[in-house]
Amino acid sequence: MRNPECCEVMTPHEQRLFDKMEGKEDRFRAGHSRVFTILESFEGLRPRIDVERAKYFTESMRATEGQPLVLRWAKAMRHIAENISVYIDDHQLLAGRAGAQGRYGILYPELDGDFLGLAIEDLPKRTESPFTITPEDARVVVDEIAPFWKGKTYHESLNLALPADVHKLTYDDPEGLHSRFIVNETSSFRSSIQWVHDYEKVLKKGFGGLKQEALEKLAALDPLSPADNCEKRPFLEAVTIVCDAMAIWARRHAALAREKAGVETNATRKAELLTMADICERVPEHPARTFHEAVQSQWFTQMFSRIEQKTGTIVSNGRMDQYLYPFYEKDMAEGRLTEDSALELIECMWVGMAQFIDLYISPTGGAFNEGYAHWEAVTVGGQTTDGRDATNDLTYLFLKSKREFPLHYPDLAARIHSRAPERYLWEVAETIKDGSGFPKLINDEEIIPLYVSKGATFEEAYDYAVSGCTEARMPNRDTYTSGGAYINFAAALEMVLYNGRMKKYGVADLGEHTGDPCEFKSWDDLWNAYVAQHKLFLKTAFMQQHIINNLRARHFAQPMGSTLHDLCMKHCLDLHTPQIPEGINLGYFEYIGYGTVVDSLAALKKVVFEDKTLTMAEVIEALECNFEGKEDVRQILRNAPCYGNNDDYADTIARDIDQLSVEYGARYSKDLGMHNDVRYVPFTSHVPFGKVVSATPNGRKAWSPLSDGSSASHGADVNGPTAVLLSNFSSKNYGYRSRAARMLNIKFTPKCLEGDDGTQKLVSFIRTFCDLKLWHVQFNVINRETLLAAQRDPEKYRNLIVRIAGYSAYFVDLSPDLQNDLIARTEHGTM
């Protein structure tokens, strides 16, 4: 502690920053020296683009034109496995990377190769998330890779396939290089939405075992059936090829490990390398026998999956504390493993993940995922397939690792259910208090009944794994779709105000002609106009999705992912097939700007139609000049009821808006053969979406970010965290099943969480979150930096409450002097 004299609270996360500033060694370094050393070897390095995956993929695809796509893909995978450079990093205990050492990203030209020329010039200059590329690699991209894909990429097909009325709300230019950020398609910057493999299958059967299954199925095909021969045979052959590819790739690592061991002078490292060589010879081809083998097998599988396709936000890790536990338990019992050595292996995986960057080469993709974000979720806790609590020693080890090892990866997700043990919630709460924002919480009590209602069995639903940012997957039952539309409903609102137009796009007629808003006589007129625009956007999104669903299978195959899926193997169909019998296709579309729209409608309802403080014309005049010289109008609007305060006035509007979406989804998802349900999870896209929306009636200035997920507008939730949860609850339509994830972020001041008493209160808060059947919540513990930011930008932080016994006030209302005092004291936890 900085000043041990005084009763202070720093989050361990802050403590670490201070230690670093003072040049002190991280207090956990001693216990984790291997991973710290690896971390320091790449921390802060600018990521580079590695072109090998794209190069070998293209080489193979060039040679197999005309053959069934799944077979071509498998051959390409084998070609990559045979040729791509293999690496074993210094100090690492796990072998396998998908590209060069340091931080790196790889290319998927089949997806969006038409952006490549542009991107190679642009990426190093990009302000958010820049990448470097060597001149030789740049040449390979421009001369060898890009030309082959010209006219063949998924993105070009989609651009051509969209009807004019859909295209104009999707893209800003005829080539579809730039998004309009209105009904934004996301399928062209990832081959599928987020996904989780059934890793347990690899650990238990090995790819050798899975290949054997495919061979048996091949032998059992009807030799005279054209369907068996034209459809099933190529699929099964592809499975055998890709299983071979996995073994080839692993054995090349074994050879490299032996080679390195041969020249290694340090005896300890030499022994490590020889062990690694043995393990890479065994897995993932054969079943894993030890914890180390299991971790290596999983790592090979997920790294190769990254090579196979660009899965949205990167393929997730599934329920690691469940499928690794038998290996852990056995090794511990037999004395092969200690808690520390298990932790070291796991953390070797974390630092491996941290180096792989989710590279988006299209400008839209880049804007969606600022700061190199990736979400390869690791799920802990939850329930067993028969509905009992699933926590075990590994669960606690993962939580411990998150507290002690300062890394954003993996994205740790803790499942919460009504009978979660107190110890589990306690440790989850302690980990959150650490201040890095992890784990995020996902609620079994919402997801399991919902998934059962969508057609899953209880066993499948109980066994879901968190996937990507907030989703839940059943790796053998659900089948995926392409990324769905991200819909800017704040643009729908703007179109209500300007009769189908937007300031950003001038005279272009984009929306419905809902008339001159100054002629609206009542709230009903306004609401109906919004409904009309809302429905147009939904129709556009669903048409997009319809086209995408059918287009996708012509461009992508995923033989390895399909090998791991029960239904794909049963029906001999690639996972990209639009309809897989018995599958449950869980897709979604995204509502962007929820708080912004709700607050804007609530403000107009109250100020214009009820209190009549302002006329619609006055409001629009102020919006048109972005409130320049109209601060009074802005304040009046802003002080109307807002979503996020457990205020019925705003929350009722929020629920009505949600209902428009769930109703539409319930009615028209059938046309798509999927569940296309409403979700509120923006990544960082509420920022670029805000950049096309002019000033809004909630007092938001033009081009500034929209509200985030199902959270309140910036600073609008002035009643504290309980009200935020309750608003979220009140605005949901529990009578419908056509709903997907809702993301909710909540800020806490360290003082509220101080000591055991604070932890206990957080545990109660989490239990109430569970009772309320909300989908997701993630906490941020406010630190000094937050307060400094609040001083600079009071508008955004007007909800920040200083809570001290018997006293409370808004931080932004304090004089600068008192604010400074509090900033100094935050380190002491008085806030």
Partner 1 sequence: MNPTDDTNGNGIIFNIQKYSVHDGPGIRTVVFLKGCPLRCEWCSNPESQATRIQLAYNTGRCLGLSQCVRCVEMCLSGAISRGEDERIVIDRALCAECTRDCTSVCPSNALITYGVRRTVREVLRTVEQDSLFYARSGGGMTLSGGEPLMQGDFALALLREARKRRIGTAVETCGHVQWETLDEACRLTRTLLFDLKHVDPARHEAGTGVTSTLILENFRRVMEHHPKLHVMVRTPVIPGFNDDEAAISAILDVLAPYPHVEYSLLPYHRLGTQKYHFLGREAPMGEVKLDDKRMASLSRLVAARRG
Match 């987020």 to its residue by tokens: 194
What's the token pair of residue 170?
A: 């999707």
814 part of the interface to partner 1, by CB under 8 A = yes
Q: State which of residues 768, 780, 791, 820 lies at the interface with partner 1 (CB under 8 A).
A: 768
Residue 635 binds to partner 1 (criterion: CB under 8 A): yes
For the bound state, the minimum distance from the C-beta of residue 721 to partner 1, rounded and expressed in Å, comes to 5
Considering beta carbons, is residue 218 or 772 the nearer one to partner 1? Answer: 772
Q: Does 804 bind partner 1 (CB under 8 A)?
A: yes
Give 119-147 as a DSSP string. HHHHTTT-SSS--B--HHHHHIIIIIIHH
Select the span of 4-12, 63-71, 484-492, 517-525 touching partner 1 (CB under 8 A): 4-12
Q: Which of 193, 752, 790, 823 contacts partner 1 by CB under 8 A?
A: 752
Answer whether 752's CB lies under 8 Å from 761's CB: yes
Contact status: 422 vs partner 1 (CB under 8 A): no
In terms of CB distance, is 438 or 627 closer to partner 1? 627
- Of 280, 348, 469, 568, which is the active-site residue? 469
What are the φ/ψ torsions at residue 417 (nearest 5 degrees)? -135, 170
570 within 8 A of 253, measured Cβ to Cβ: no
Euclidean distance between CA atoms 689 and 167, whole angstroms: 17
Does the footprint of partner 1 cover residue 615 (CB under 8 A)? no
Give the max Cα distance, the chain.
86
- What DSSP character marks residue 232? I
With binding defined as CB under 8 A, does residue 792 bind partner 1?
A: no
Binding segment toward partner 1, per CB under 8 A, in 200-208, 293-301, 325-333, 760-768: 760-768
Is 230 one of the binding residues for partner 1 (CB under 8 A)? no
Tokens matching residue 591: 């509502």
- 708 contacts 469 by C-beta, under 8 angstroms: no
Q: How far is the CB of 772 from partner 1 (least distance, A)?
A: 7
Stretch that binds partner 1, among 224-232, 493-501, 652-660, 765-773 (CB under 8 A): 765-773
Determine which residue in the list 229, 418, 550, 639 makes contact with partner 1, applying CB under 8 A: 639
The residue from 116, 158, 633, 681 that contacts partner 1 (CB under 8 A) is: 633
Q: How far is the CB of 823 from partner 1 (least distance, A)?
A: 13
805 is an interface residue for partner 1 by CB under 8 A: yes
99-125 burial: b if 16+ Cβ within 10 Å, else e: bbbbbbbbbbbbbbbbbbeebbeebee
Smallest gap from residue 236 Cβ to partner 1 (A): 53
Taking CB under 8 A as the binding criterion, the range among 356-364, 408-416, 475-483, 753-761 that sits at the site for partner 1 is 753-761
Among the listed ranges 199-207, 213-221, 304-312, 811-819, the one in contact with partner 1 (CB under 8 A) is 811-819
Candidate list 150, 175, 764, 824; residue touching partner 1; CB under 8 A: 764
Nearer to partner 1, 582 or 771 (CB): 771
- Choice between 41 and 768, CB closer to partner 1: 768
Give CA–CA dist 126/119, Å, rounded: 9
Q: Does 5 bind partner 1 (CB under 8 A)?
A: yes
In angstroms, what is the minimal distance from the CB of 25 to partner 1? Answer: 27
- In terms of Cα–Cα distance, which of 119, 185, 114, 190 is closest to 150? 114
Among 765, 775, 779, 797, binds partner 1 (CB under 8 A): 765
Beta bridge partners of 378: 318, 412
Q: Find the part of the chain contacting partner 1 (CB under 8 A) among 179-187, 375-383, 427-435, 812-820.
A: 812-820
Smallest gap, in angstroms, from Cβ of residue 764 to partner 1?
Answer: 3
Parallel/antiparallel/unpaired status of strands 486-488 and 584-592: parallel
Write down the least CB distance from residue 642 to partner 1, Å: 13
Q: Which of 621, 631, 671, 793 binds partner 1 (CB under 8 A)?
A: 631
Strand, helix or coil at 380? strand
As measured in angstroms, the least distance from the Cβ of 753 to partner 1 is: 9
- In the bound state with partner 1, the residue whose beta carbon lies nearer, of 400 and 701, is 701
Helix (H) or strand (E) holding 69: helix 69-83
Q: Which stretch binds partner 1 (CB under 8 A): 92-100, 202-210, 218-226, 800-808?
A: 800-808
Cβ(613)–Cβ(505) below 8 Å: no
501 vs 803 by CB, closer to partner 1? 803
Q: Does the protein bind partner 1 through residue 600 (CB under 8 A)? A: no
CB of residue 761 vs partner 1: minimum separation in angstroms? Answer: 5
Given a contact cutoff of 8 angstroms between Cβ atoms, the answer to whether 623 and 694 are in contact is yes
Question: What does 510-565 look like in DSSP terms, one character per residue?
Answer: -S-----GGG--SHHHHHHHHHHHHHHHHHHHHHHHHHHHHHHHHH---HHHHHT-
Task: Classify the phi-psi angles of 695: left when phi > 0, otherwise alpha if psi is within -120 to 50, otherwise beta.
Answer: beta
Decide if 725 contacts 778 (C-beta within 8 A).
Answer: no
Q: Contact between 632 and partner 1 (CB under 8 A)?
A: yes
Rounded to whole angstroms, what are the CA distances from 819 to 231, 752, 805, 814? 69, 18, 18, 6
Site string for partner 1, 711-730 (x = CB under 8 A): --------xxxxx--x----
> What are the φ and ψ backbone dihedral angles of 227, each rounded to 5 degrees?
-65, -45
Q: What is the DSSP letter of 610?
A: I
Count helices and strands in the chain by DSSP H and E runs: 36, 17
Task: Using the structure block, give the residue that is written with the tokens 């001041």.
Answer: 749
Q: How far apart are CA 618 and CA 613, in angstroms?
A: 10
What is the DSSP track for 396-452? HHHHHHHHHS----S-EEEEE-TT--HHHHHHHHHHHHTTT---EEEEHHHHHHHHH
Residue type, 731: S
Minimum gap (Å) between residue 418 Cβ and partner 1: 11
Q: Does 815 bind partner 1 (CB under 8 A)?
A: yes
Decide if residue 780 touches partner 1 (CB under 8 A).
no
CB 662 within 8 A of CB 738: yes
How far, in Å, are 96, 170, 284 from residue 303 at the CA level?
7, 33, 12
Q: Which stretch binds partner 1 (CB under 8 A): 238-246, 404-412, 536-544, 763-771?
A: 763-771
The distance of closest approach from Cβ of residue 181 to partner 1 in the complex, given in angstroms and rounded to an integer, is 31
Indicate whether 820 belongs to the interface with partner 1 (CB under 8 A). Answer: no
Instruction: Check if the beta carbon of residue 512 is closer than 8 Å to that of residue 536.
Output: yes
Check if the beta carbon of residue 412 is closer than 8 Å to that of residue 380: yes
Q: Is residue 758 at the binding interface for partner 1, with CB under 8 A as the rule?
A: yes
Which listed residue (767, 773, 784, 796) binds partner 1 by CB under 8 A?
767
Among 28, 408, 803, 820, binds partner 1 (CB under 8 A): 803
Q: How far is the CB of 641 from partner 1 (least distance, A)?
A: 14
Q: Which structure tokens are listed for 30? A: 């001693």
Picking from 469, 403, 510, 487, the residue whose alpha carbon sits closest to that of residue 664 is 487
Q: Is 280 a catalytic residue?
A: no
Residue 223 or 629: which CB sits closer to partner 1? 629
Output the six-digit token pair for 9: 């609270």
Assigned token pair, 159: 């651009």
Beta carbon of residue 771, minimum distance to partner 1 (angstroms, whole number): 6
Q: How far is CA 690 from the centre of its chain?
A: 20
Per the CB < 8 A criterion, the answer to whether 342 and 493 are in contact is: no
Count the neighbouring beta carbons within 10 Å of the beta carbon of residue 380.
Answer: 26
Q: Active-site residue 216, yes or no? A: no
Binding mask 641-670 for partner 1 (x = CB under 8 A): -----x------------------------
| Size of interface with partner 1, in residues (CB under 8 A) | 45
Q: Which of 237, 404, 471, 590 is catalytic?
A: 471
**Binding of residue 818 to partner 1 (CB under 8 A):** yes
Name the residues annotated as catalytic: 469, 471
Which chain residues interact with partner 1 by CB under 8 A?
3, 5-7, 629, 631-633, 635-636, 639, 646, 719-723, 726, 751-752, 757-758, 760-761, 764-765, 767-768, 771-772, 802-809, 813-815, 818, 821-822, 830
